[in-house]
Amino acid sequence: MVNTRKSRAGHSLENHLSATFDKFNIPYSCNPVIEGKKKPDFIFPGVDSYNDESYPAEKLVFLGAKTTCKDRWRQVITEADRIPEKHLFTLQEGISEYQLDEMEEAKVLLVIPDSYRDCYPKNYKDTLINLNSFLEFLNDTVGNIPAQIR
């Protein structure tokens, strides 16, 4: 019962993020099957670009979505081999400095609701980004993001 509830919460988070991306006409693929039958949460601008070896890897963006991180954040490290730097959206309020150090070392960048910023260690507040900053990053990296979100 608990796992079912957590699974629904995870799918709900993905649906909310998808609705945000759809609202702003941001190109993406949700849960595409890529190399080794991996299914990352989100690939920008989409799975076709990801699978096209001639498409520049530096213009690809990965976003994982986890309601809580705990040890599950490590799952994103192994997804989307072409994208070395991973973004992870979470609803978890506060993560230990030790775990944030591990994430930083693994090139996992945390995306959180802006209202959660005060729940995190002070020395990490500048490295955390909110969803709007992530959308700006998408515009800078992928391009063609509508002006209304900037």
Q: Where are the domains of the chain?
A: 2-143
pLDDT value of position 101 = 92
Selecting among 28, 50, 120, 124, the annotated active-site residue is: 50
pLDDT at position 124: 85
User: Pick from 108, 79, 77: which is nearest to 95 by CA?
Assistant: 108
Q: How many residues does the chain have?
A: 150
pLDDT for position 6:
54
Active site residue 120: no
State the pTM of this model: 0.88
Write down the pLDDT at residue 1: 54
Backbone angles phi, psi at 126, to 5 degrees: -80, -20
Q: pLDDT confidence of 150, banded at 50, 70, 90?
A: very low
Taking the C-alpha atoms of residue 26 and residue 114, their distance in angstroms, rounded to an integer, is: 21
Handedness of CA 33, 36, 41, 46 (dihedral sign): negative
Cα(25)–Cα(135) distance, rounded to whole angstroms?
A: 11
> What is the mean predicted confidence (pLDDT) over 120-140?
89
Q: CB within 8 A of 58, min separation 6: which ones?
A: 141
Task: Please answer whether residues 62 and 82 qualify as being in contact, where contact means their C-beta atoms are separated by less than 8 angstroms.
Answer: no
Instruction: State the CATH class of domain 2-143.
Output: alpha beta
Closest CA relative to residue 30, chosen from 86, 135, 19: 19
Averaged confidence pLDDT in the chain: 87
Residue with more model confidence, 19 or 149: 19
